[in-house]
Amino acid sequence: MNRSFLQRLNARRKGLSDLALTLASVWERARACGQRLFDGSAPLLRLRSGQGWVAAGSKIRHAASGYQRRPGYRPLGSDRCVVATVANDAFTEYLLVLLHSIREHNTWFARFPLRVFWSRQISPLALENQERIREVHPDTTFVSVDGERYERYREQTPPGLMPSLLTLEAFTIRDADRVVFLDADMVCLGDLTDLFALAVDLAACPAGSNRAAKEARAGTFRRRTGINSGVLVIGKRYLNARTVRRLAQYSSGQFADQDVINRFLRRRAVYCLDHRFNYHAEFFWRGDETDVRLLHYAGTKPLDAPDLPRMRPWFAARERQRLGACRTWQPVATQRGAGHRNDAGRRP
């Protein structure tokens, strides 16, 4: 028999043998993972097929749709979770009401450190107002930001939304495993445990006024979905200098920081929160809701239009704050579930 033919035959046998060993190794690794793939504890494992499925750590998603089967959750206090927000003198009253209302329904909230970003140039916050905020939440750190870094966005950004650009500072926090960012112009109406226990790379509510679309996306991981940056859960993956540098590459726009973040996230998977965790007062509030967790006063603010019916929950919360009701208020038990944004302007 031709010697070259035998050599080719032996080489092919060796190749098939190596392939069999590789497939056996992959199978054993997948079998060892077992159900851990579905509870978020599996090690990194990538399997490619014609359908494009990818399994990686806690993520099991279809590459085309960005679908992830199940998010991770951490018990409160099991890691370093930091709360972040942006404040200035005009929004101090709103932040005070938000902090009081969260503690009304979530007594554990007092244990979480709070970072308040402000800037002398674009979001001034007087020392007197800093002290008022610290009285409500003692574990508060005020972070002064050099507003000159944001001047390059001024031509693209509505003047009233320049302070909102400081939302991007949440990605600069290094001493946290997770960051929960909250806009100041909200009021808490229920239990936030699921929001603060969520352990994902990034979570937010889909933007817009289409209730059906928001509800359809809730609880799934999506790509190419515009998000509202009023409520964000940021995991360790994005709390680094690399993310900050990449965010700086994108321009602002009509919705300020929200435009920057959405351009950054265009091809990245985001966990879509139930919009009850960022419920747009102007778009959706009817007055008979019983399961809203965070009511967001995007657009028109309560102090600017106090007679509108949708402002009543905010003024009721402010009245309880002034009466010191949060000292004796009992947490409200609500259903388990989690997922919108606007600021001193109208950001859908």
pLDDT tens, position by position, 1-14: 566 666 676 766 66
Helix-helix angle 92-105:312-322, to 10 degrees: 80
**Cβ contacts of 115 within 8 Å, gap of 6 or more:** 82, 83, 84, 85, 140, 141, 143, 170, 173
100 pLDDT higher than 70 = yes
Residues 91 and 68 occupy one common structural domain:
no
Query: Does the residue 344 lie in any domain?
Result: no
User: Which amino acid appears at position 290 of this protein?
Assistant: T
pLDDT tens, position by position, 281-320: 999 999 989 999 999 999 899 999 999 999 999 999 999 9
Residues 34 and 101 occupy one common structural domain:
no
As a whole number, the mean pLDDT across the chain is 83
CATH of the domain at 262: 3.90.550.10
In angstroms, the CA 86 to CA 168 distance is 10
Pairing state of beta strands 294-296 and 186-188?
A: antiparallel
Beta strands in the chain (DSSP E): 53-56, 59-62, 67-68, 72-73, 81-86, 114-118, 140-144, 178-182, 186-188, 198-199, 202-206, 221-222, 227-235, 270-272, 279-280, 294-296
Residues 181 and 245 occupy one common structural domain:
yes
257 pLDDT higher than 80 = yes
Instruction: Please give the pLDDT value at position 309.
Output: 95
User: Which amino acid appears at position 67 of this protein?
Assistant: Y
Stated pTM of the model: 0.76
Please identify, among 47, 72, 97, the residue that sits at the C-terminal boundary of a domain. Answer: 72
Instruction: Please give the pLDDT value at position 146.
Output: 96
Q: What is the residue-wise DSSP string for 266-334? A: TTS-EEE--GGGGEEHHHH--S--SS-SEEE--SS-TTT-TTSGGGHHHHHHHHHHHTTGGGTPPPPP-
Instruction: Please give the pLDDT value at position 35.
Output: 38
186: left (phi over 0), alpha (psi -120 to 50) or beta: beta
Residues 169 and 61 occupy one common structural domain:
no
Instruction: Please give the pLDDT value at position 45.
Output: 34
Query: Does the residue 340 lie in any domain?
Result: no
Written as six digits, the tokens of 173 are 């926090």
Query: Does the residue 79 lie in any domain?
Result: no
Kindly give the residue spans of alpha helices, DSSP state H, lying in 155-277: 193-197, 211-217, 241-247, 257-264
Query: Does the residue 214 lie in any domain?
Result: yes
Most confident of the ranges 19-33, 53-67, 85-99? 85-99
Residues 57 and 136 occupy one common structural domain:
no
Query: Does the residue 181 lie in any domain?
Result: yes
Share of the chain above pLDDT 90, in %: 68
H or E, element range at 104 = helix 92-105
- Cα end-to-end span (Å), the chain: 76
Name 221's bridge partners. 271
pLDDT tens, position by position, 314-345: 999 999 999 874 454 444 443 334 433 344 44
CB 329, CB 338: distance < 8 Å: no
Residues 24 and 44 occupy one common structural domain:
yes
Written as six digits, the tokens of 236 are 């360790």
Please identify, among 15, 49, 72, the residue that sits at the C-terminal boundary of a domain. Answer: 72
What range does the domain containing 45 cover? 3-72
Between 34-38, 49-53, 270-274, the lowest mean confidence (pLDDT) is in: 49-53
Residues 148 and 291 occupy one common structural domain:
yes
Mean pLDDT calculated for residue range 40-53: 36
Helix-helix angle 92-105:127-136, to 10 degrees: 10
pLDDT tens, position by position, 155-207: 999 999 999 999 999 999 999 999 999 999 999 999 999 999 999 999 999 99
Residues 218 and 302 occupy one common structural domain:
yes
Share of the chain above pLDDT 70, in %: 74
Residues 64 and 97 occupy one common structural domain:
no
Residues 116 and 8 occupy one common structural domain:
no
Name 279's bridge partners. 295
Instruction: Please give the pLDDT value at position 70.
Output: 79
User: Which amino acid appears at position 348 of this protein?
Assistant: P
Reading across the β-sheet that carries 178-182, which strands appear in turn?
A: 140-144, 114-118, 81-86, 178-182, 227-235, 202-206, 270-272, 221-222
Residues 32 and 92 occupy one common structural domain:
no
Name 178's bridge partners. 81, 235
Instruction: Please give the pLDDT value at position 54.
Output: 38
104 pLDDT higher than 50 = yes
Instruction: Please give the pLDDT value at position 161.
Output: 94
Count structural domains, the chain: 2
pLDDT tens, position by position, 110-148: 999 999 999 999 999 999 999 999 999 999 999 999 999
Residues 53 and 189 occupy one common structural domain:
no
Q: What angle do CA 204, 209, 211 make, to 5 degrees?
A: 80
In angstroms, the CA 133 to CA 143 distance is 13
